[in-house]
Amino acid sequence: MARAGLSPPSTPAAQARRLREQIVQADHSYYVLDSPILPDAEYDRLMRELQALEAAHAELITPDSPTQRVAGAPSREFRAARHAVPMLSLNNAFSEAEVTAFDARAREALVREGESVSEVEYACELKFDGLAVNLRYEGGELVSGATRGDGGVGEDVTANIRTIRAVPLRLAARAPALLPEVLEVRGEVMMFKREFERLNERQRAKEQREYVNPRNAAAGALRQLDSRITAERSLRFFAYGLGQLQGASEPATHAALLDWLVKLGVPVATERAVVGGVAGCLRFYQAVGERRAKLPYEIDGVVYRINSREQQQLLGYVSRAPRFAIAHKFPAQEAVTQLTGIDIQVGRTGALTPVARLAPVFVGGVTVTNATLHNEDEIRRKDVRIGDTVTVRRAGDVIPEVVAVIAERRPRNARVFKMPTQCPVCGSQVYREERESVARCTGGLICAAQRKQALLHFAGRRALDIEGLGDKVVEQLVDSGLVHTPADLFKLGMGALAGLERMADKSAANLVEAFERARSTTLERFIFALGIRHVGESTARDLARYFGKLDPIISAEEAELLQVPDVGPVVAASIAHFFAEPHNREVVEQLRAAGVHWTESEPVRKPVGRLVGKTFVITGTLPTLKREDAKSMIEAGGGKVSGSVSKKTDYVVAGEDAGSKLEKASELGVTIINEAKLQKILED
């Protein structure tokens, strides 16, 4: 992928110099400042470009080239820690062909060393996206912990390592004599996804900088000068190898080594296997790739390591990596591209989502041309502008998202995005509720983007109950242009319906009858059928009882709506916005004109019933009553049924197999009753 805004240097030497400068700058930001400026995919691309250039022009290779050493340098804020055995990195493979070539080289080298090898046995592990560390144990006691640094010298982070609960401060053994004199454990410090999300939630609450990814967060936590801060970050550790070993014999295979570490109490990932040949490696790669999104931690590939320690020693090392192991990386989950525009997508509930239009980029195994920007607040927080060069992330089946802007590449003509005040689909007013990050279209019944969902809700069993009007029928009616609003349903006859796919005459006749039955309903069902945001069955019932008629609800101000029991500011604003939209009032009139009518009554300006002010929660399976019936009986008595238990709950009605709601009720001291007690309360 070409880098936006950069022209290739004129000579190989100048190109190599430019690449080294970029890589060194990225290394410093990544390893020293804990503030990455490039996604892994872009970094890998730069490194491979430099490697190819140096391979073609050997005279360009310099001792300080990033290709000649492990990246990174110890921070001046920590004491230097020299490794007894160098901590090297792995060469990468990005395709099956490269894995096959690695295996062929290994087998050929083993044959040259006198080994008779037809198929190599490999130990397969995960390649964690964390921070490599070396833990040194002497006599079974943890004495030091250090980062990899430049491979020869790292940073002494012992105090911080000791706060990681997964790291044993003393090794386990049946007898102290069985412990090695010196054991250096190599492994990865990381942060699990859920802890990363919680950390960023706390950062947002404190209005502080959010971390880009779990690796960045783990590195920042491990390199805190105050170890108390590290302790708060819930870091994890998985071992994958050894450094120095004295006073014990190393196991014969890598798999046996990991099993030995487990016996010593050192955590090792369970996602590992021993396989035969390239085919076994690739099966492991594919299986892990399918589970990758569900893993609790981030990985960016798998590692294939020749299992036999004897064969490892025969193959040895090149300048910066072992010949007996390779990292097979997954397609990049992050890439750099240019944001060419921002469009608005209207969802089925009216939510307006800004979508980034991108210059095509290959990421996560597919070519991506657009990505979500979530909402207006996220655009402001990330300072995303049209024309920017951005980092795009795609993980598994998750919708691609713009995660960061590369501010250094911002063009002078980059434009600030503004959220529209009118729906781009139907022209209705756009509003955003207080404390919500999502802007919404108020078009509801008229907006084409919301039409299918609005019609299905309108016809639902608890709304107008139009039997036979399901997803496929609604889809055909909307796509063919026969239905634009709910009022159009009542204009359909046998001829129009019989022309639909898989709609026989009998089915069409039944649907016409269902439309006819639905013309007569109750006010509360009609209000619920309109699909006003935040207005469920209970609120629709309260509105119908309080006002008695529809027209007073349509014309009511927010202050008057707030007088209705259980209607708060958010619900009142939503109702007022809905009926303030001319399109919605027009649809109501169209429904009236189509013969849809409802029972009305005298307004009841205060709640009625013996259970007024009482809140119930129903959990588990009741002996004789369906949950829906119990709910209706409680509401008929003026009570309210909630879906969650709180201090404001008066009764929890518990049936068989009651779960967490029952436990919470016990903790809060809420009165717990069974069905018989509920019947008694209702009768009294």
Catalytic residues: 127
Three-state DSSP class for 80? strand
d(CA 361, CA 370): 9
- The residues, ordered by sequence, that sit 6+ positions from 363 with a Cβ below 8 Å of its Cβ are 41, 331, 332, 333, 334, 335, 392, 393, 394, 400
DSSP annotation of 226 reads S
d(CA 380, CA 6): 27
d(CA 1, CA 52): 15
Nearest to 278 by CA among 120, 127, 125, 115: 120
Q: Within its chain, how far is the Cα of 449 from the centroid?
A: 25
Name the amino acid, one letter, at 75: S
Torsion sign (Cα): 239, 243, 245, 251: positive
Question: Could you report how far apart the first and last alpha carbons of the chain are, in Å?
Answer: 75
Q: How many beta carbons lie within 10 A of that of residue 591, not counting itself?
A: 24
Contact criterion met (CB below 8 Å) for 56 and 63 = no
Tokens 């207006």 found at: 376
DSSP annotation of 31 reads I
- The residues, ordered by sequence, that sit 6+ positions from 632 with a Cβ below 8 Å of its Cβ are none
- Which string of DSSP letters, residue by residue, matches 605-665? -S--STTTT-EEEEESB-SSS-HHHHHHHHHHTT-EEESS--TT--EEEE-BT--HHHHHH
Paired with 366 in beta bridges are: 363
**Token code pair at residue 86:** 């160098």
- CA-based angle 49:54:59, to the nearest 5? 155
d(CA 71, CA 88): 10
**Strand (E) or helix (H) holding 572:** helix 569-580
**Token code pair at residue 383:** 């300072």
**Strand (E) or helix (H) holding 183:** strand 182-190
Q: Is residue 209 classed exposed, middle or buried when 0-12, 13-18 and 19+ CB atoms within 10 A define those classes?
A: exposed
Contact criterion met (CB below 8 Å) for 527 and 540 = yes
d(CA 612, CA 328): 65
Q: Within its chain, how far is the Cα of 490 from the centroid?
A: 43
- The residues, ordered by sequence, that sit 6+ positions from 219 with a Cβ below 8 Å of its Cβ are 31, 34, 131
Paired with 136 in beta bridges are: 144, 184
As separate numbers, helices (DSSP H) first and strands (DSSP E) second, the chain gives 25, 26
Provide the residue count of the chain.
684
